[in-house]
Chains A and B, each alone.
Chain A
Amino acid sequence: MAGTTLFEKIWQAHVVDEKPGEPALIYIDLHLVHEVTSPQAFEGLRLAGRPVRRPDLTIATMDHNVPTERGPITDLIAKAQLDALRANCEEFGVPLNATGSGREGIVHVMGPELGITQPGMTIVCGDSHTSTHGAFGALAFGIGTSEVEHVMATQTLLQSRPKTMQIRFSGTLPFGVTAKDMVLAAIGKIGVDGGVGYAIEYAGEAIETLSMEGRMTICNMSIEAGARAGMVAPDATTFAYIEGRPGAPKGAAWDEAVARWSALKSDADATFDRIVDIDVTTLTPQVTWGTNPGMVVPVDGTVPDPADFADPTDREAAERALQYMGLEAGTPVTEITIDRVFIGSCTNARIEDLRAAATVVRGKHVASTVRAMVVPGSAKVKHQAEQEGLDKVFLDAGFEWREAGCSMCLGMNPDTLSPGERCASTSNRNFEGRQGSGGRTHLLSPTMAAAAAVAGRFVDVRELG
Chain B
Amino acid sequence: MRELRQVTSVVAIIDRPDIDTDQIIPKQFLKRIERTGYGQFLFYDWMKEPDFELHKPEFKGAEILLAGRNFGCGSSREHAAWALEDYGFRVVIAPSYSDIFRSNSVKTGIATITLPDAELAELKAALAQRNELTVDMETLTITHPDGLVITFAFDEFAQETLVHGLDDIARTLKRDDAIAAYEAATPGRFDTRTLST
Instruction: Report which A residues bind B (CB closer than 8 A).
Output: 16-17, 21-23, 25, 27, 29-30, 36-37, 39-40, 43-44, 48, 50, 55-59, 64-65, 75, 77-78, 80-81, 84, 93, 95, 102-103, 114, 116, 118, 121, 126-128, 142-147, 149-150, 153-156, 158, 160, 162, 192-193, 196-197, 223-224, 226, 228, 246-247, 249, 257, 292, 313-314, 316-317, 320, 410-412, 429, 431-434, 437
B28, B96, B189, B195: which contacts A249 (Cβ < 8 A)? B189
Distance in angstroms between the alpha carbons of A149 and B78 in the assembled complex: 12
Instruction: Report the 7 A-B pairs with minimum CB-CB distance, sorted nearest first.
Output: A146-B107, A144-B78, A144-B104, A39-B33, A193-B70, A128-B76, A142-B76
Q: Is the CB–CB distance between B189 and A147 below 8 Å? A: no
Count of A-B contacts judged by CB separation below 8 Å: 199
- Residues in B neighbouring A21, C-beta threshold 8 A: 156-157
Q: Which of B26, B32, B169, B182 has the most CB of A within 10 A?
A: B169
A25, A39, A150: which contacts B175 (Cβ < 8 A)? A25
Q: Is the CB–CB distance between B100 and A81 below 8 Å? A: no
Distance in angstroms between the alpha carbons of A226 and B77 in the assembled complex: 15
Q: Is the CB–CB distance between A431 and B22 below 8 Å? A: yes
Q: Is the CB–CB distance between A95 and B78 below 8 Å? A: no
B99's nearest neighbour on chain A, judged by CB, is A228
Q: Is the CB–CB distance between A196 and B98 below 8 Å? A: yes
Tell me how far the C-beta of B166 lies from the nearest C-beta in chain A, rounded to whole angstroms. 11
Q: Is the CB–CB distance between B18 and A150 below 8 Å? A: no
Instruction: Convert B19-34 into 0s and 1s, putting 1 for each residue whose CB lies closer than 8 angstroms to a CB of A.
Output: 0101100111011111
Q: Is the CB–CB distance between B35 and A56 below 8 Å? A: no
A27, A153, A437: which contacts B186 (Cβ < 8 A)? A27
Q: Is the CB–CB distance between A196 and B78 below 8 Å? A: no
Tell me how far the C-beta of A101 lies from the nearest C-beta in chain B, rounded to whole angstroms. 8
- Residues in A neighbouring B188, C-beta threshold 8 A: 56-57
Number of interface residues of B (CB under 8 A): 58
Tell me how far the C-beta of A238 lies from the nearest C-beta in chain B, rounded to whole angstroms. 15
Distance in angstroms between the alpha carbons of A247 and B192 in the assembled complex: 8
Tell me how far the C-beta of B76 lies from the nearest C-beta in chain A, rounded to whole angstroms. 4
Q: Knowing A25-B175, A433-B26 touch, does A116 contact B190 (C-beta < 8 A)?
A: yes
Distance in angstroms between the alpha carbons of A77 and B22 in the assembled complex: 19
Q: Within 8 Å of chain A (Cβ to Cβ): is B81?
A: yes
Distance in angstroms between the alpha carbons of A294 and B50 in the assembled complex: 28
- Residues in A neighbouring B190, C-beta threshold 8 A: 116, 247
Q: Knowing A65-B31, A146-B104, A292-B20 touch, does A17 contact B192 (C-beta < 8 A)?
A: no
Q: Is the CB–CB distance between B192 and A56 below 8 Å? A: yes
Distance in angstroms between the alpha carbons of A224 and B21 in the assembled complex: 12
B27, B172, B196, B197: which contacts A156 (Cβ < 8 A)? B172
Q: Knowing A149-B169, A433-B45, A437-B26 touch, does A95 contact B100 (C-beta < 8 A)?
A: no
Tell me how far the C-beta of A421 lies from the nearest C-beta in chain B, rounded to whole angstroms. 15
Tell me how far the C-beta of B32 lies from the nearest C-beta in chain A, rounded to whole angstroms. 7
Within 8 A of A (CB), among B87-123: 96-100, 103-104, 107-108
- Residues in B neighbouring A429, C-beta threshold 8 A: 20, 22, 74-75
Q: Is the CB–CB distance between A313 and B69 below 8 Å? A: yes
Q: Within 8 Å of chain A (Cβ to Cβ): is B12?
A: no
